[in-house]
């Protein structure tokens, strides 16, 4: 029987495990209720694109053990699948055989799979009842993509939403290219060991340790939260949640999990991918300058900031948060306007370190330089050198996704006439 | 014919405190009080009393109180005294019953069933005395996507015109004619001081108020009174009034005796003639006609100011509002059935329209379902009684609210519902020079400014408690609300959870 | 000095100023006793002239060169050189009415005193020596038709 996880109001998480009393309790799972959480976050990146294994990020997040409570941990890694870098890498968690069968049938219909395999894991004493975790390297089915009228990213996103929302017991943990999320229920160091993250080489790593106030104990609810190439780790509880949720839901994003991280990811996707803003401007919109500051600006700058705040007033994120957003461009760290959550940054040569606590940086890089606190409301952007060079050549005007020609059409078919996109 | 109508109120005079100074007699335009030298006491004509409470406030010794007429009813819950008195009045006059202000009937007040959230532990509350707490909002239409040049920090295309409110509240439409010039001037002065807007109603903009024109929203209603290029050009924004919460589907009628020289000049109609606003605009019989008027006004003003459209909250308000947005309205105003009026047929006021809370929630959700909520502004009106009501309205989805009854109460209005008599003892709903003089706009503006300052402090406290430091993050944030005493359907329409959920 | 000015635009003929003045100048300072019981009857020094459509409160301007002081034959009417307040001493007043006829504002009245009719006028709610207090008529006016403001001429 397929256990309907999202729909079941109560479910005993660990049936044969008495060692963790919190896991024993019954309660609603992520998505059924909104669960406030505290957290630890960390990230490491090499700006030159040089890859390094998961050892350092594991050490860094493990140091902040007390900031999580064993109910969620995870990692996102960029650059880990260079051999499949043109394909979407789906990491999917299954809670039943039926869920896998149903999902794979669905994937077969809408995608062309190059390779599929079980993600290698290591038995770890503290990790109980893991789901069956698979990865698929896929490309959208060309005919179906062309018929959908969507671009490749939008097409993929809609199908990820479908699997997460409609197939019971299946959850897409990540769906980007040349990247992946490794997450689950447990302390982050145990999750890292479980997934053998030391076996992967990435140019950027992000990590998350979770302290939920409730007992969701659901692998899909662990972080990083991802969508396409985005991955978000977040510490905080945003008070603007429902304003942000109801804003993005206008545009086809379905906030199934009811988490801050989810809505922040969607806001980012909307602003950066769909509306074509740079990540920095997207972050700037989400932590906009105060009116007091705007009033002190020269008139032209004030008009620009006023317009951004006015048009994107519902994208303003309020309440305490520190987030690290990973993407194919690099990392972006952002604190709320009032700086109500800790987040430190440091550098050493091409390496950039971010963490909730300074000690978590120093343990992996004792002679780190430029150690500083991220300023409230000031986006901290680290991009790959290659991305910086490419951006300098691009126009500084934002080009919304819907005004761009579809990549798959430009490259495969003759370009459609302009009106077809209107 | 013997009049069967009973007095409604009775003057209670404490004879131990009455000093027969005559202040009450001189304060009452209804001629209730009389200092009788022969009797050596002050007498009262109770039947004339409307319970405006001016005498109670003015009496130097607090010797006065007004009570209900002590007559018992028939004992029937069906044939109440009020019901029977209404029949007696109509049997006497054969006329439509007229009344004023908002619907007074005991329909549910949903504001009072919505409780606000506050932060505890997982999320800090914010102290408005230490941290900036932003109440500024802009009203106008916006593109869904803003096009900019990020490097130069410049807009690729200008933003459509917006009006800026430093507080999420404006003063709703009340025309010169329905209220006195001093009352309107007080609201204009307060709007300027507070960084918000007053609304001229359908009465034109009096020349004395032209210096406040940049804080004015000028109304274009079915009578088109006072509308000319100068009027449209002077204002901060233009509002097309289709309907009013107090009397949906009904026009207006300002009797000739209220069309004084000044009112006549401002409305651009002959002195002493009745000013009749038809029920519909006779050039708007459908949604596409509305679009034509919206764009005529935009053309007339060079697309320099937002155009609002105001409708009464009626049964299919969500669909109507969506149509208004598509017809080019920059600001959608929804006026609930408890909104006030200077005069309305009593049966209309008491029986037509729906509550603003449900209408607002439905409109906001519909606009979101159609992905157009963030391209248009939404203003809720119709009995916003306190700062908590404003917070609730914004959390349900409004950008800002319109208030009129509350500022009038700050001016002295005691909701006696006798505006239509033109004998307002507080100098508000009258054109009689001796009464108009009673409202010194300087004092009145101060009182309104005080009220709004008090409310703004309270809004900041409530937002801070929720861990929110900008009103942007409160808008549509329905998780900040919980219902009590509501059924499933009401919760569904309001889009809120029950307390404890 | 600060003087009381009456603004006819805002005077609404309620006469609360008269009531307040009379109460302030009573022995008891209680309106009920002042109006109904005290003997001799307290006198109000401000009075409202006119009707509901046009009215104004009349009270003393405390002129720098006060005609009432110039004309007083008994030395009852004096102007405090420091404060500028003009007061009438009831003990010295003989009730000759010269001050009444000389006052250009009609701000002095002759009314029944303890022994004979004497002059009554505004003392700015101060003491007999001409030190002004805070005028009770101004406080009682509901419409700011009476204002107490600094003005030219000491």
d(C-alpha A239, C-alpha B40), whole Å: 67
Please name the helix (run of DSSP H) or strand (run of DSSP E) that holds residue A346, with its range, or none.
strand A344-348
Identify the pLDDT of residue A8.
35
In this predicted structure, the answer to whether residue A68 has a pLDDT above a threshold of 90 is no
In this predicted structure, the answer to whether residue B67 has a pLDDT above a threshold of 80 is yes
What are the tens digits of pLDDT across the range B182-208? 999 999 999 999 999 999 999 999 999
Strands B400-403 and B377-381: parallel
Whether C49 and chain B come into contact, CB under 8 Å, resolves to no
Mean pLDDT, to the nearest integer, of B426-431?
96
- Whether residue A318 and residue B467 make contact (CB cut-off 8 A), yes or no, is yes
Identify the pLDDT of residue B107.
96
Mean pLDDT, to the nearest integer, of B157-175?
97
d(C-alpha B404, C-alpha B389), whole Å: 14
- Residue ranges per structural domain of chain B: 9-95, 137-475
**Closest of B372, B373, B391 to residue B459, by C-alpha:** B391
Identify the pLDDT of residue B122.
80
Tell me which residue in A239, A246, A316 faces B123 most closely, judged by beta carbons. Answer: A239
Identify the pLDDT of residue C152.
78
In this predicted structure, the answer to whether residue A318 has a pLDDT above a threshold of 60 is yes
Identify the pLDDT of residue A26.
52
CB A71 within 8 A of CB A212: yes
CA of A263, closest CA in chain B: separation in Å? Answer: 13
Per CB-CB distance under 8 Å, the chain A contacts of B396 are none
Tokens of A93: 């968690």
What does B450-497 look like in DSSP terms, one character per residue? HHHHHHHHHHHHHHHHHT--BGGGTTT-GGGEEESS--HHHHHHHT-E
| Position C118 in a domain | yes
The CA-based dihedral angle spanning residues C55, C57, C61, C62, taken in that order and rounded to the nearest 10 degrees:
160
Tell me which residue in A250, A290, A400 faces B374 most closely, judged by beta carbons. Answer: A250
Mean pLDDT, to the nearest integer, of C84-94?
94
CB B287 within 8 A of CB B232: no
In this predicted structure, the answer to whether residue A165 has a pLDDT above a threshold of 80 is yes
pTM: predicted TM-score of the whole model, two decimal places: 0.92
| Position C27 in a domain | yes
Left, alpha or beta for A380 (phi > 0: left; psi -120 to 50: alpha)? beta
Tell me which residue in C11, C31, C143 faces B60 most closely, judged by beta carbons. Answer: C31
Query: What confidence tier does A413 reach under pLDDT thresholds 50, 70, 90?
Result: very low
pLDDT: is A71 or C125 the higher one? C125
Query: What confidence tier does C127 reach under pLDDT thresholds 50, 70, 90?
Result: confident
b (16+ CB within 10 A) / e for A33-56: ebbbbbbbbbbbbbbebebbbbeb
Mean pLDDT, to the nearest integer, of B283-305?
95
Domains and CATH numbers, chain A: 39-338+377-421 (3.60.20.10)
Give whole-number Cα distances, A21 to A66, A131, A210, A215, B222, in Å.
18, 20, 17, 10, 70
Report the residue of B437, B438, B442 to disrupt the C interface, i.e. the one with the largest count of C CBs within 10 Å.
B437
**Closest of A247, A218, A106, A229 to residue A157, by C-alpha:** A229
b (16+ CB within 10 A) / e for B443-477: bbbbbbbebbeebbebbbbbbbbbbbbbbbbbbbb
In this predicted structure, the answer to whether residue B379 has a pLDDT above a threshold of 50 is yes
Mean pLDDT, to the nearest integer, of A150-174?
93
| Position C20 in a domain | yes
C/A Cβ contact: 3+ pairs below 8 Å: no
Identify the pLDDT of residue B121.
83
In this predicted structure, the answer to whether residue B20 has a pLDDT above a threshold of 60 is yes
CATH 3.30.70.20 describes domain B9-95:
yes
CB B272 within 8 A of CB B257: yes
Identify the pLDDT of residue A9.
36
* Percentage of residues of chain A with pLDDT beyond 70: 86
Per CB-CB distance under 8 Å, the chain C contacts of B428 are none
| Position C65 in a domain | yes
Please name the helix (run of DSSP H) or strand (run of DSSP E) that holds residue B171, with its range, or none.
strand B169-171
* Percentage of residues of chain B with pLDDT beyond 70: 100
Identify the CATH homologous superfamily for domain B137-475. Answer: Aldolase class I (3.20.20.70)
Query: What confidence tier does A214 reach under pLDDT thresholds 50, 70, 90?
Result: low
| Position C95 in a domain | yes
Mean pLDDT, to the nearest integer, of B243-269?
90
Per CB-CB distance under 8 Å, the chain B contacts of A213 are 122
In this predicted structure, the answer to whether residue A37 has a pLDDT above a threshold of 70 is no
What are the tens digits of pLDDT across the range A14-23? 333 333 333 3
Mean pLDDT, to the nearest integer, of A264-277?
94
For position C22, which CATH number holds?
A: 3.30.70.20
- Whether residue B119 and residue A400 make contact (CB cut-off 8 A), yes or no, is no
Identify the pLDDT of residue B498.
97
Identify the pLDDT of residue A144.
94
CA of A124, closest CA in chain B: separation in Å? Answer: 31
Q: Which residues of B, range 133-152, sit inside 8 Å of A by Cβ? A: 134, 136-138, 140, 142-143, 145-152
What are the tens digits of pLDDT across the range B461-485? 999 999 999 999 999 999 999 999 9
CA of A219, closest CA in chain B: separation in Å? Answer: 22
Identify the pLDDT of residue C26.
95
Helix (H, G, I), strand (E, B) or coil at A76: strand
**Closest of A310, A31, A288, A294 to residue B475, by C-alpha:** A310
Identify the pLDDT of residue A404.
80
Largest CA distance in chain C: 41
- Whether residue C32 and residue B16 make contact (CB cut-off 8 A), yes or no, is yes
Identify the pLDDT of residue A31.
65
What does chain C look like in DSSP terms, one character per residue? -EEEEE-TTT--S--HHHHHHHHHTSSS--HHHHHHT-SSPP--S-EEEE-SSSEEEE-----TT-HHHHH-SSS-EEE-TTT--EEE-TTT-----HHHHH-TT---EEE--SSS-EEE---TT--TTS-----HHHHH-TTS-EEEEE-S--
Q: What is the mean pLDDT of chain A?
A: 86
Identify the pLDDT of residue C153.
67
Query: What confidence tier does B226 reach under pLDDT thresholds 50, 70, 90?
Result: very high
Q: What is the number of domains present in chain C?
A: 1
Q: Which residues of A are catalytic?
A: 39
- Whether residue B60 and residue C16 make contact (CB cut-off 8 A), yes or no, is yes
What are the tens digits of pLDDT across the range C27-46? 999 999 999 999 889 999 99
CA of B118, closest CA in chain A: separation in Å? Answer: 10
* ipTM of the shown complex: 0.94
Mean pLDDT, to the nearest integer, of A56-60?
94
Domain that holds residue C119: 2-149
- Whether residue B148 and residue A316 make contact (CB cut-off 8 A), yes or no, is no
Identify the pLDDT of residue A30.
66
| Position C154 in a domain | no
Q: What is the mean pLDDT of chain B?
A: 96
Strands B169-171 and B400-403: parallel
Whether B304 and chain A come into contact, CB under 8 Å, resolves to no
Strands B237-241 and B307-312: parallel
Mean pLDDT, to the nearest integer, of B424-439?
96
């Amino acid at each position: 029987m397929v256990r309907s996880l999202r729909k079941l109001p109560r479910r005993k998480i660990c049936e044969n495990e008495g060692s963790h009393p919190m896991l024993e309790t019954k309660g609603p799972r992520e998505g059924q209720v909104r669960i406030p959480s505290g957290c630890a976050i960390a990230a490491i990146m090499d700006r030159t694109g040089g890859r390094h294994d998961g050892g350092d990020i594991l050490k860094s997040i493990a140091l902040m053990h007390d900031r999580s409570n064993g109910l969620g941990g995870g990692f996102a890694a960029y650059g880990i699948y260079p051999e499949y870098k043109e394909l979407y890498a789906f990491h999917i968690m299954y809670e039943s055989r039926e869920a896998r069968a149903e999902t794979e049938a669905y994937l077969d219909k809408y995608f062309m799979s190059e390779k599929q395999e079980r993600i290698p894991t290591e038995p770890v004493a503290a990790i109980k009842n893991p789901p069956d975790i698979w990865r698929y390297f896929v490309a959208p089915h060309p005919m179906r993509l062309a018929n959908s009228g969507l671009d490749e990213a939008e097409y993929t996103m809609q199908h990820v939403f479908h699997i997460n929302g409609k197939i019971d017991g299946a959850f897409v943990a990540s769906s980007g290219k040349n990247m992946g999320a490794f997450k689950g229920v447990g302390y982050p160091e145990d999750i890292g060991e479980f997934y053998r993250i030391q076996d992967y080489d990435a140019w950027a790593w992000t990590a998350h340790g979770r302290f939920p106030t409730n007992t969701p104990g659901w692998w899909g609810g662990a972080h990083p939260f991802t969508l396409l190439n985005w991955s978000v780790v977040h510490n905080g509880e945003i008070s603007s949640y429902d304003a942000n949720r109801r804003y993005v839901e206008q545009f086809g994003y379905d906030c199934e999990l009811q988490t801050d991280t989810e809505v922040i990811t969607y806001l980012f996707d909307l602003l950066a991918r769909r509306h074509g803003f740079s990540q920095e401007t997207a972050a700037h919109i989400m932590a906009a300058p105060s009116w007091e500051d705007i009033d002190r600006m020269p008139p032209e700058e004030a008009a620009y900031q006023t317009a951004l705040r006015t048009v994107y007033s519902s994208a303003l994120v309020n309440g305490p948060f520190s987030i690290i957003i990973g993407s194919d461009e690099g990392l972006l760290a952002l604190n709320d306007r009032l700086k109500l959550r800790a987040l430190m940054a440091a550098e050493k040569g091409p390496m950039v370190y971010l963490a909730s606590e300074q000690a978590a940086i120093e343990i992996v890089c004792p002679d780190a330089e430029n150690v500083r606190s991220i300023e409230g409301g000031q986006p901290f952007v680290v991009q790959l050198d290659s991305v910086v060079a490419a951006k300098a050549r691009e126009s500084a005007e934002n080009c919304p996704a819907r005004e761009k020609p579809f990549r798959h059409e430009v490259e495969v078919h003759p370009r459609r006439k302009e009106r077809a996109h209107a | 014919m013997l009049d069967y109508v009973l007095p409604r109120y009775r003057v209670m005079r404490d004879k131990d405190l009455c000093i027969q100074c005559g202040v009450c007699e001189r304060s009452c335009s209804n001629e209730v009080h009389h200092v009788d030298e022969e009797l050596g006491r002050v007498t009262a004509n109770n039947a004339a009393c409307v319970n405006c409470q001016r005498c109670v406030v003015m009496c130097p010794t607090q010797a006065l109180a007004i009570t209900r007429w002590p007559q018992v009813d028939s004992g029937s819950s069906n044939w109440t005294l009020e019901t029977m008195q209404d029949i007696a009045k109509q049997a006497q006059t054969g006329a439509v019953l007229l009344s004023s202000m908002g619907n007074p009937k005991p329909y549910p007040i949903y504001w009072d069933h919505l409780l606000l959230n506050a932060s505890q532990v997982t999320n800090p509350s914010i102290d408005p005395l230490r941290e900036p707490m932003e109440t500024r909002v802009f009203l106008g239409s916006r593109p869904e996507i803003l096009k900019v040049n990020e490097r130069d920090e410049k807009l690729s295309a200008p933003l459509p015109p917006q009006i800026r409110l430093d507080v999420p509240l404006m003063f709703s439409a009340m025309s010169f004619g329905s209220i006195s010039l001093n009352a309107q001037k007080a609201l204009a002065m307060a709007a300027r001081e507070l960084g918000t807007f007053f609304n001229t109603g359908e009465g034109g903009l009096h020349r004395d108020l032209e210096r406040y024109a940049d804080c004015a929203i000028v109304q274009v209603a079915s009578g088109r009174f006072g509308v000319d290029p100068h009027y449209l050009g002077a204002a901060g924004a233009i509002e097309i009034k289709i309907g009013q919460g107090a009397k949906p589907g009904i026009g207006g009628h300002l009797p000739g005796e209220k069309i004084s020289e000044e009112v006549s000049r401002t409305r651009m109609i002959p002195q002493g003639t009745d000013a009749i606003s038809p029920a519909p605009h006779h050039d708007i019989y459908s949604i596409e006609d509305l679009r034509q008027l919206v764009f005529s006004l935009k053309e007339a003003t060079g697309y320099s100011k937002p155009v609002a459209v105001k409708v009464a909250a009626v049964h299919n308000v969500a669909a109507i509002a969506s149509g208004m947005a598509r017809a080019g309205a920059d600001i959608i105003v929804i006026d609930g059935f408890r909104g006030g009026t200077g005069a309305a047929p009593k049966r209309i006021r008491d029986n037509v329209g729906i509550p603003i809370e449900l209408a607002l929630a439905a409109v906001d959700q519909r606009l979101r379902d159609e992905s157009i909520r963030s391209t248009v502004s939404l203003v809720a009106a119709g009995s916003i009684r306190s700062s908590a009501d404003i917070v609730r309205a914004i959390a349900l989805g409004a950008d800002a609210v319109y208030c009129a009854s509350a500022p009038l109460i700050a001016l002295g209005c005691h909701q006696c519902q006798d505006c239509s008599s033109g004998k307002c003892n507080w100098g508000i709903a009258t054109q009689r020079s001796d009464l108009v003089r009673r409202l010194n706009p300087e004092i009145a503006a101060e009182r309104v400014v005080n009220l709004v300052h008090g409310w703004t402090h309270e809004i900041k406290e409530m937002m801070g408690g929720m861990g929110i430091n900008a009103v942007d993050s409160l808008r549509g944030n329905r998780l900040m609300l919980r219902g009590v005493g509501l059924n499933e359907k009401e919760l569904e329409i309001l889009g809120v959870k029950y307390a404890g959920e | 000095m600060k003087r009381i000015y009456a603004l006819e635009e805002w005077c609404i003929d309620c006469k609360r100023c008269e009531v307040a003045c009379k109460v302030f100048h009573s022995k008891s300072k209680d309106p009920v006793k002042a109006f109904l019981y005290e003997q001799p009857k307290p006198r109000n020094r401000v009075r409202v002239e006119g009707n509901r459509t046009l009215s104004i409160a009349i009270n003393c301007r405390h002129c720098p060169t006060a005609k009432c002081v110039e004309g007083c034959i008994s030395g009852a009417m004096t102007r405090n050189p420091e404060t500028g307040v003009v007061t009438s001493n009831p003990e010295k007043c003989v009730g000759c009415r010269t001050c009444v006829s000389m006052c250009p504002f009609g701000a002095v009245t002759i009314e029944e005193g303890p022994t004979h009719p004497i002059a009554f006028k505004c003392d700015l709610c101060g003491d007999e020596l001409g030190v002004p207090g805070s005028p009770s008529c101004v406080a009682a006016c509901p419409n700011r038709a009476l204002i107490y403001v600094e003005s030219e001429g000491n």
